[in-house]
Amino acid sequence: MRKLTVFNQVSLDGYFRTPDGDMSWAHQQDDDAEFRDFTASNASGGGVLVFGRKTYEMMVSFWPTPAAAKQFPVVAKQMNALPKVVFSKTLDKVTWSNTKLVKGSPAAELRKMKGEAGDQLVIMGSGTIVSQLAQADLIDEYQFVVVPVVLGEGRTMFEGSSKNLQLKLTKTRAFRNGRLFLVYQPKA
C-alpha cells in the first residue's frame, strides 16, 4: 500500500497561506546551509506530487522557469521531473511536464491510488484537499516546517474540518534559522 504524506510550511500561528494566497513568506532565502541541504534532500525523495488547482497554478508559474533553476537548481530539477497529479473541477488541461489532471473526487481517487503499487504520494499546499483527506482518514503522515513568522490571518490546512484528528509526534528537527521540522502520524 502506498503512503500518503502531507508536506507543508506553516507560520507560527498555523497558516499555510495568506488570505490572498501568498506563500512567499515561507520561501525566504537565508544563510542556513543545513536547511538548504534539508530542502534539497527532501526534494530528492521522489514520489508522486499531489496538488489542488490553486497550488498547481502557483507551482507551475515558478518551478519550470529559469529563475527557479537558478535559485533552487536541485529542487527545480526534481519538481519538474517528478510525476504530478492535479485535482481540479475547473481546469481543462495541465501544461507542466509529467502532470495528470483528475476531475473526480480527491478522496475516491487517492484511496484507489493508495491501493496500487508505486511511489509514495506527497501533498504539497492544497489545504482544501488536505482537509478532505484528513476527514476521510487517508493521510498517513503530516510533515510540517514551522516558519518563525506570524501572519495574523490566512488559511489553515484544516479549514472546514469537523473531525477531531488525534496525532502523535514521531520526529522533530530544529534548524539554526529558527525553523522546525515536525512529523506526525495519526494515532491508532
pLDDT in tens, 104-136: 999 999 999 999 999 999 998 888 899 999 999
For the chain, the domains span 4-25+32-186
3-state percent breakdown (helix, strand, coil) of the chain, nearest 5: 30, 25, 45
pLDDT of residue 52: 92
The x, y and z cell numbers of residue 35, run together, are 536547511
Name the E strands within the chain: 4-11, 48-52, 84-87, 99-102, 121-124, 141-147, 167-174, 180-186
- Pairwise pLDDT comparison (32 vs 80), residue with the higher score: 80
CATH numeric code, 4-25+32-186: 3.40.430.10
Supply the DSSP string of 68-107, one letter for each residue.
Answer: HHHHSHHHHHHHHHS-EEEE-SS-S---STTEEEE-S-HH
Read off the pLDDT of residues 12-48 as tens digits, 9 standing for 90 and up.
999 998 988 888 888 776 678 888 888 777 766 678 9
pTM: 0.91
pLDDT of residue 160: 81
- Check pLDDT > 80 for residue 61: yes
Give phi and psi for 151, each to the nearest 5: -90, -25
- Pairwise pLDDT comparison (74 vs 143), residue with the higher score: 143
pLDDT of residue 44: 62
pLDDT of residue 26: 85
- Check pLDDT > 90 for residue 10: yes
- Check pLDDT > 80 for residue 68: yes
Report residue 142's pLDDT band, with 50, 70 and 90 as the boundaries: very high
- Pairwise pLDDT comparison (75 vs 13), residue with the higher score: 13
* Average of per-residue pLDDT values in the chain: 91
Report residue 188's pLDDT band, with 50, 70 and 90 as the boundaries: confident
pLDDT of residue 29: 65
